[in-house]
Amino acid sequence: MYPVAFGFFDSETTDNWTWFFEQLQRAIGNPPFLALSSDACKGQEKAVKNVFPRAEHRECFWHLMQNFIKKFQGPVYGNMYPVARTFTENRFEHYMNKILDTTPEVASWLKKNHNLLWMRCRFLEEIKCDFITNNLAEVFNNWVKDIKDLPIAELADTLRSKMMQLYAKQRKIGERLQDTMLPIVVRQLQAMTRCCNHLRVVEGGNHVAEVTEVTNEHEVLRHAVNLTKHKCSCREWQVLGKPWPHALAVITTTRNPVMADYLHPYYSVYNFRLAYAGIIQPLTDKFQWPKVNLGFRLLPPMTKRSVGRQRKNRIPGCLEKKGRTKGLWQITCNSCGGKGHRESGPKCPNNGTKKKRKSRAKIGRPLGDASSRTPKRQKVARNDSNTASPGPTTRRQLALSNDGGEGTSQQVATPRRSPRNKAAKKLTPRKGNK
């Protein structure tokens, strides 16, 4: 990640993006080969056309697929990735025709909603960048995630400090490098040479060869490689600026190859040092800045009305206690001045002994003999039906039965069994006692 510029605005509109790109143009000028990658923001697309009309405007393929899956499902989702990753136009048409044979409406949807560059086969070879996603932007977001909640002034100063540290660190690394090309790129290419066993090389002389991909003993594709011109028919070498499997397979057939000779100057140590040669000057805190009369007063931006019903209640402060306020206020005793009790309460020390709480009165009729109770009218009315019902007589029916036609009922108590007289336990003397 190489940070160049950063800015702040309230929303992603065409005016805000135009202002940002104008400031960026003042910093970097108008490079002949410039690529700008975005997430298909409409305001950004118009701003790029106005400020950088000759720049290559790319679209993040990940954001494209997030919209694609909402419209199309099934195998067509997985078939889109080879379309975006291939470097040649003929392979692009080959994979695209497979998609259109099953889902022909994909072509019109892409043309209407995603007309920017998202396929590698149409990237300019002079830019030397094959990124189809905005992963670098996510790296920057992860780099500044801990300081995003700062105010704008402190946030800008912290970003400047982090960039100053990054430039100083990379500058020290560049001073220690002794080779002509970056060692990390050379080691990457040396590791890739171990993955060329499936490639068959036929040399043609004068650093020209044919490379055939062999899969399960069947020839799949054949490419032409020219080591002198740094070209391969797969276009990976031209787009990346470094040899990839086909070219590496030919390079390994030469005697004592030097990987640095086949790299683009973009990967040189000289350009790495030149990128971090600029020094971000240190800055004092804002309390030591000189006071300047700008002639106007800068006001905060106007806020937009939020969607939905407007708030009526006041927003409590961070130091205020939230929730119910009941129980937070305590009464004061007029006698002792204590909190949480009254003058006549038992907790007051000036009120004498602690008063006993009155016992609650017993509510309800006292329980008496079941035989003296008068049955309810409903139970008496059901007397005949209960006695006439077949089956054994229950205790409840006996309790509700009326003796002699009078309005009282007597409960027949079942006789209790008398306890059996247990035999006395026979005590035997111990053997030792005589």
Pairing relation of β-strands 35-38 and 56-59? parallel
pLDDT band at 163 (very low <50, low <70, confident <90, very high): very high
Structure tokens at 288: 């030591």
Which residues are registered as beta bridge partners of 213? Answer: 199, 221
Higher per-residue confidence, 378 vs 295: 295
pLDDT band at 347 (very low <50, low <70, confident <90, very high): confident
The string of pLDDT tens digits covering residues 229-284 is 999 999 999 999 999 899 999 999 988 888 889 999 999 999 999 999 988 999 99
Nearest Cα neighbor of 16 from 40, 66, 39, 50 is 50
- Asked whether residue 295 carries a pLDDT value surpassing 80, the answer given is yes
- Asked whether residue 367 carries a pLDDT value surpassing 60, the answer given is no
Q: Is 194 helix (H, G, I), strand (E, B) or coil?
A: helix
Contact between 401 and 409 (Cβ < 8 Å): yes
| 83/97 Cα distance (integer angstroms) | 10
pTM (2 d.p.): 0.65
Q: Taking all residues of the chain, what is their mean pLDDT, rounded to a whole number? A: 82
Average pLDDT value for residue range 336-344:
85
Average pLDDT value for residue range 384-398:
61
Straight-line distance from the first to the last Cα atom of the chain, in angstroms, rounded to the nearest whole number: 108
**352 CB burial (10 A radius; 0-12, 13-18, 19+):** exposed
pLDDT band at 76 (very low <50, low <70, confident <90, very high): confident
| 362/26 Cα distance (integer angstroms) | 93
- Asked whether residue 354 carries a pLDDT value surpassing 90, the answer given is no
pLDDT band at 378 (very low <50, low <70, confident <90, very high): low
Q: What percent of the chain has pLDDT over 70?
A: 80
Cβ count within 10 A of residue 294: 6
| 42/183 Cα distance (integer angstroms) | 41
Q: From the CA atom positions of the chain, what is the Rg in Å?
A: 46
Nearest Cα neighbor of 403 from 394, 395, 412 is 412
Contact between 419 and 411 (Cβ < 8 Å): no
| 43/14 Cα distance (integer angstroms) | 4
Average pLDDT value for residue range 154-183:
93
| 58/123 Cα distance (integer angstroms) | 9
What's the pLDDT score for residue 136?
A: 86
| 397/375 Cα distance (integer angstroms) | 12
Average pLDDT value for residue range 26-53:
89
Query: Got the DSSP string for 125-173?
Result: TTS-----S-HHHHHHHHHSGGGTTS-HHHHHHHHHHHHHHHHHHHHHH
Higher per-residue confidence, 433 vs 83: 83
Nearest Cα neighbor of 5 from 156, 171, 173 is 156
Among 16-20, 224-228, 289-293, which is the least confidently predicted range? 289-293
Structure tokens at 286: 């804002």
| Cα→Cα distances 326→227, 319, 321, 323, 332, Å | 84, 18, 12, 9, 16
What's the pLDDT score for residue 366?
A: 59
> What single-letter amino acid sits at 87?
F
What's the pLDDT score for residue 418?
A: 55
The string of pLDDT tens digits covering residues 399-431 is 776 554 444 444 445 555 555 555 555 566 666
- Asked whether residue 74 carries a pLDDT value surpassing 90, the answer given is no
Average pLDDT value for residue range 357-366:
62
| 23/10 Cα distance (integer angstroms) | 17
What's the pLDDT score for residue 411?
A: 47
Average pLDDT value for residue range 46-62:
92
Count CA atoms closer than 13 A to 150's CA, side-chain side: 14
- Rounded to the nearest angstrom, the gap between the alpha carbon of residue 45 and the centroid of all alpha carbons in its chain is 26
- Asked whether residue 66 carries a pLDDT value surpassing 60, the answer given is yes
What's the pLDDT score for residue 73?
A: 84
Contact between 102 and 75 (Cβ < 8 Å): yes
Average pLDDT value for residue range 158-163:
93
Nearest Cα neighbor of 107 from 62, 57, 131, 71 is 71
Phi and psi at residue 222, in whole multiples of 5°? -130, 135
| 264/259 Cα distance (integer angstroms) | 11
What's the pLDDT score for residue 408?
A: 46
Q: What is the domain partition of the chain in residue ranges?
A: 14-143, 183-275
Angle at 6 between CA 166 and CA 139, to 5 degrees: 55
Angle at 39 between CA 34 and CA 43, to 5 degrees: 85
